[in-house]
Amino acid sequence: MALETQTKTVVGQFEYSDEDVNKGVAEFLRQMAEGLEKDGASMSQIPTYVTAVPNGTEKGLYMAVDLGGTNFRVCSIQLNGDTTFRLTYTKVAIPRELMVAKTAEELFAFLAKQVEIFLRTHHGEHFEAHIRRRMTMSSPEGFKDENVFRLGFTFSFPVQQLGINKGTLIRWTKGFDIPDAVGKDVCALLQTEIDKLHLPVKVAALVNDTVGTLMARSYSSPGKSGAILGAIFGTGTNGAYVEKLSNIKKPLAGEYDKSTGEMVINTEWGSFDNQLKVLPNTPWDVQLDLATPNPGIQMYEKRVSGMYLGEILRLTVIDLLKNPDVALFKDDNSSYNDWKSTTNIAEHSPIYKQWGLDTSVLSVAAADSTPELSILRQELEANLHIYAPSLEDAQAFKAIAGAIGRRAARLSAVAIAAIVLQTGKLNDPELDEPIDIGVDGSLVEHYPYFRDMIYEALRVIKGIGEEGAKRIRIGIAKDGSGVGAALIALVAARMEKSTSTADFISDLRLNAKKTDLTAVPEDSELAAGE
């Protein structure tokens, strides 16, 4: 079979039609609603207890820490109140022995020590001048703590969130294994160690990096109203959006601010349609899924995110190579090759190894518009050790890679469209500015025309169409785990200050029966009564 004909057949299997897109949106909306009604749904729809988003006018100095893997990052963020900010940060590797420590205290003491080192290095004057929190009747929140840093804690491990700064660890991932920490409140673990060092820091918010992306975009985006969605399309994919409290039907444990009538929801949309009711499922999707540690799970993510796209392409190419009737990377003699050579694939080529093909090669293929695809062919030689690939080989590779990337973009549009329709913003007569969406991740940043392909799909979706797509503004939002985390700490601080004087006095009377208020309490004592 001619290579061109076989390539068209393969490309056709990755086609995700306009009809498919609309079916996907309808099912996405259904699974969103199911996740808001009950736990255990395909899409978790996790309440974050964040009940407001910034608008770019916020000011102040806040901190953020990010434990996302083998590194720990400490940041301070000066919000300038004009959608701009100044970021200072340090990063340190987590010692391997602490990733498997016997007690949670060992790891969290190390984290708190890094916070202390950061403060002494970058905010020495603030550190030395800070005033310990003290009880006072002059403010309804019950203490004076203007010099205490509010800190957002990005903790990228599975947690059961119970409040804006409360969450118990469900399990460790990414090489960590400290059983002592499982079931404990990670914010309290960090606060305890911070208090032991007498640092002017309060862990004000527990942060998911996707929620942080939403907050970071809301602060920096042009316009009066904030973003409605923060989405990550990178190594993984997820989204967090602003939902009406009235639509959250499942029980909400813990305390939260009801005054806004809204709450940010972490969708965990990577697991959308694990049942494969509407998601495409080629033979190569099946092969990939079976070879992963979690077959049958995260089925949407396995078709959209950068972690998997390169492997889907590799599996497709391998199947073509195994077919004796398909002349991919095969030449009978040099006359069949425009480089006047014969194509050879090295035995150690990454094409033969699971996960050997990085998704970045899809970006190279999409970006190469040279007549002879010379850039892509150089990439095939240099990184995949496929020597002297012909123009026909490169054209086939580019077409298949493009089909996989285009399908990922159109599937991304399904999630974005469903969120836009769920919020009802397109039908809001009072909204006279674009509907803003913040995105982060290597696909939207580096894959050529990825956002263009998303818009192409948005235009064919019922309820959005050409005019609706024009009103949707998709912009890059950077550093959700840093700037976004700091902004959630800001929201948390405002929630504290919204406590009424009556509530404060009531709590004070209750605590007076248990505590000797003649002593000035330490931070840790106050934290228990706040």
SS3 71: strand
Counting Cα atoms < 13 Å in the Cβ hemisphere of 134 gives 8
pLDDT of residue 69: 74
Over range 203-215, report the average pLDDT: 91
Instruction: Kindly state the tokens that stand for 107.
Output: 């790891």
Question: What is the extent of the structural domain holding 108?
Answer: 56-220+479-494
Other Cβ atoms less than 10 A from the Cβ of 184: the count is: 15
**Percentage, residues of the chain above pLDDT 70:** 88
Task: Judge whether 217 and 230 are in contact, CB under 8 Å.
Answer: yes
Contact partners, residue 514, CB within 8 Å, separation at least 6: none
Q: At what angle do helices 18-37 and 391-423 cross, to 10 degrees?
A: 40
pLDDT of residue 127: 65
SS3 132: coil
Nearest to 99, CA basis, from 126, 130, 61, 72: 72
pLDDT of residue 513: 40
C-alpha pair distances (Å), 376 with each of 89, 92, 385: 37, 37, 12
pLDDT at 497 over 90: no
C-alpha pair distances (Å), 79 with each of 60, 209, 471: 5, 19, 28
**Percentage, residues of the chain above pLDDT 90:** 63
**Residue with tokens 């979706």, as numbered in its chain:** 461
SS3 245: helix
Q: Per-residue pLDDT tens for 152-188? A: 999 988 888 888 999 999 888 778 889 999 999 999 9
pLDDT at 526 over 50: no
CA distance 460 to 352: 39
Least confident of 110-119, 339-348, 401-410, 431-440: 339-348
SS3 461: coil
pLDDT of residue 520: 33
pLDDT at 378 over 60: yes
**Which tops the pLDDT comparison, 501 or 464?**
464
Domain with 101 in it: what CATH number?
3.30.420.40
CA distance 224 to 55: 6
Instruction: Kindly state the tokens that stand for 210.
Output: 């996707």
- Asked if residue 328 is part of any domain, the answer here is no
- Asked if residue 350 is part of any domain, the answer here is no
pLDDT at 119 over 70: yes
CA distance 197 to 183: 24
pTM of the predicted protein model: 0.84
Over range 206-219, report the average pLDDT: 90
Instruction: List residues with catalytic annotation.
Output: 156, 171, 209
- Asked if residue 138 is part of any domain, the answer here is yes
Other Cβ atoms less than 10 A from the Cβ of 332: the count is: 9
pLDDT of residue 123: 87
Q: Which helix (H) or strand (E) holds 274?
A: none
- Asked if residue 134 is part of any domain, the answer here is yes
Beta strands in 122-255 (DSSP E): 134-135, 143-144, 149-155, 159-163, 166-169, 201-207, 229-233, 237-244
- Asked if residue 76 is part of any domain, the answer here is yes
Q: Per-residue pLDDT tens for 59-91? A: 999 999 999 777 899 999 999 988 888 999 999
Contact partners, residue 378, CB within 8 Å, separation at least 6: none
Q: Per-residue pLDDT tens for 251-290? A: 988 778 888 899 999 999 999 999 999 999 999 999 999 9
pLDDT at 514 over 50: no
CA distance 209 to 156: 7
Sign of the Cα torsion 50, 51, 52, 58 reads negative
pLDDT at 466 over 70: yes
pLDDT at 527 over 50: no
SS3 20: helix
pLDDT band at 370 (very low <50, low <70, confident <90, very high): very high
Over range 428-438, report the average pLDDT: 89
**Which tops the pLDDT comparison, 530 or 295?**
295
Over range 10-36, report the average pLDDT: 97
Burial 61-72, CB ≥16 within 10 A → b, else e: ebbbbbbeeeeb
pLDDT of residue 463: 96
Domains of the chain: total: 1
Query: What's the whole-number average pLDDT of the chain?
Result: 86
Amino acid at the residue 451: R
pLDDT at 394 over 90: yes
Counting Cα atoms < 13 Å in the Cβ hemisphere of 396 gives 24
pLDDT at 126 over 80: no
Over range 30-47, report the average pLDDT: 94
Q: Per-residue pLDDT tens for 49-58? A: 998 888 888 8
Burial 470-490, CB ≥16 within 10 A → b, else e: eebebbebebbbbbbbbbbbb
Beta bridge partners of residue 66, listed in sequence order:
73, 154
- Asked if residue 66 is part of any domain, the answer here is yes
pLDDT of residue 186: 96
Task: State how beta strands 472-476 and 435-440 pair.
Answer: parallel
Over range 393-406, report the average pLDDT: 97
- Asked if residue 73 is part of any domain, the answer here is yes
- Asked if residue 523 is part of any domain, the answer here is no
